[in-house]
A and B are shown apart, each in its own frame.
Chain A
Amino acid sequence: MVLPPFGGGVDTYLHGVGHTPFGRHTARLDTLAIEAFERMHGEAEEALPEPGHVVVSSQFPGEYGGVENAAAAVTDGLGLAGLAATRVESGPSSGLAALEIADALIRSGARDTVLVVGVETMTRLPAAMANQVLARMATLEERKLGLTMAAQVALMTRAYLEEHGIERELLADCAVKAHAHGLQNPLAQFRKAVTRDEVLASGPVADPLRLYDCAPLSDGAVCLLVSREKGPLRLGAMGHATDHLSITHRNHDARTLTSFRATTRAAEEAFGRSGWSVEDIDLIETHDAFSLLEGMNLEDLGLFERGAGVRTVAEGETAVTGKHPTNVGGGLKARGHPVGATGCAQVAELFWQLTGHAEVEARSVERAQGKRPKKALAHNIGGLGNNIHVALLEATA
């Protein structure tokens, strides 16, 4: 698929990122955003261009953070009152949704520079309440069954294991791999190694998924500064696709239980606009909210054959030292998953890795692979595979 470029020759560049630690914070939503913003300015080597618009990604600022009118609250908190400010939401893929809107504002000529702020505070509610809020992403019929996001992915996980004859232990190995990466990330929520046996012995959540198969509830904020002025990373292209809200309405797709076709559609759009293919990608950030997903997503993105994803991840091919380094900051599983900030955290990791930043020294892909990655992909899922973004990024140096 070849798609026309858009933007009339304007390109979007990433100039700087700021990332709070992920985990439990007592700070309010807008205070966390300030910390991310200060970190961004603190680590910038040159003066950053001044934004004309703030795009805030936060999925549940009211339910989780007690803050409504979040775009104005965050923008005022950052000392940027007067600028245009907008909140966007596409489920847990809101972070890349905010980047998509920022990109469109720049390529349209409306703004020269846009600040993206992804922020979420999820740990204030008891877990059962927090999961009830997340479960509202499903249909009413599904919610009446007590289905959580974990339960919906559990249904897919069982189907994947049965269809492809995969041992459940390999899923545990995917979680082990994520934790091994998280150990090298000072900003990660989980900075500890786990073993296969510990994953398999962790508490049951929704059979076959156990606690260590699931990303945690997290607080955190990430800022990204994007501009039409040339910067260290170019946003090659983005892709975006939805699917039916309920998995049962995807019954005409033979792979409905073992893939997210919106991932494939979003990737096709991004590759079609950029002229790149998956073989060009040196580094991937993918939405591994559950242990099935890193492997399954990499199949949907076209990197691995159907049924090979989980086994390939379990065997180490996506480790920082592997052939296809993926989620080297720990992924959602170990870095944490403050839903509105996750897509921005993926982009921040890619920014650091592609620019050889000191922040990622302990997990440097450049050092592990012997050369610095040049092209990268971020993949961010909303809901049960029903609102998905892909972003392609390229180092300009």
Chain B
Amino acid sequence: MTSPHMITVSRCDDGHRTHPVRRDCPACGADMHPVVIEGKGTVITWTRIERPPEGFKTPQLVVLVRLEAEREEKDPPVVLAAVADTTTKVECGNVMLIRDTQERYEAEPL
């Protein structure tokens, strides 16, 4: 696939997945390996940061997205991402696409 909305998560042999990539499975402790999956999912919570740390513009819009579960997989990964256009109206349940800009993860409405 050539979609820009592919992101790397970690998967263990038991089918647990998590993000960002890490060595050991947070669910079962097994070794994890990186897999590339579509960065598409549903907003489960979000915040608009009006008092960001030094070095960031005001505001910052951040969403927590639960990626779409493939049927045979266990608890889907969740990804924290910024919405670049901070005027975007966000609600829980919105479907978003996430990409890895190398600088950070960014989400945009589908």
Contacts and interface: CB of A to CB of B under 8 A. Distances in A.
**Interface size bucket, A side?**
35 or more
Given A145-B81, A204-B50, A207-B50, A248 B20 contact: yes
Interface string B10-48: 000000101110100011000000000000000011111
A390 to B, nearest CB: 23
A158 B45 CA distance: 6
A248 B79 contact: yes
B103 A139 contact: no
A146 B53 contact: yes
A166 interface: no
Interface string B38-81: 00000011111111111110001010101000000011111111
Contact of B78 (A126, A131, A203, A248): A248
Nearest to B81: A145
Contacts of A246: 20, 80
Nearest to B65: A248
A206 B81 CA distance: 15
B66 to A, nearest CB: 8
A371 interface: no
Interface residues of B, number: 37
A147 B62 contact: yes
B26 A250 contact: yes
Contacts of B104: 141, 144-145
Interface string A127-164: 11101100100010111111110110011101100100
B104 to A, nearest CB: 4
Contacts of A281: none
B80 A147 contact: yes
A28 interface: no
Contacts of A148: 49, 51-53
A251 B18 contact: yes
B12 to A, nearest CB: 11
Nearest to A208: B47
B47 A155 contact: yes
B10 to A, nearest CB: 9
Interface string B76-110: 11111110000000001000000000011100000
B62 A128 contact: no
A251 B45 contact: no
Leading 10 A-B pairs by shortest Cβ distance: A132-B53, A252-B27, A146-B56, A154-B47, A146-B60, A146-B52, A144-B104, A204-B50, A159-B45, A132-B54
29 contacts: A126-B54, A127-B51, A128-B54, A129-B53, A131-B54, A132-B55, A141-B20, A141-B104, A141-B105, A146-B53, A146-B82, A147-B49, A148-B52, A150-B49, A151-B52, A151-B60, A154-B47, A162-B45, A203-B50, A204-B48, A205-B50, A207-B48, A248-B78, A251-B18, A251-B19, A251-B76, A252-B18, A252-B74, A252-B75
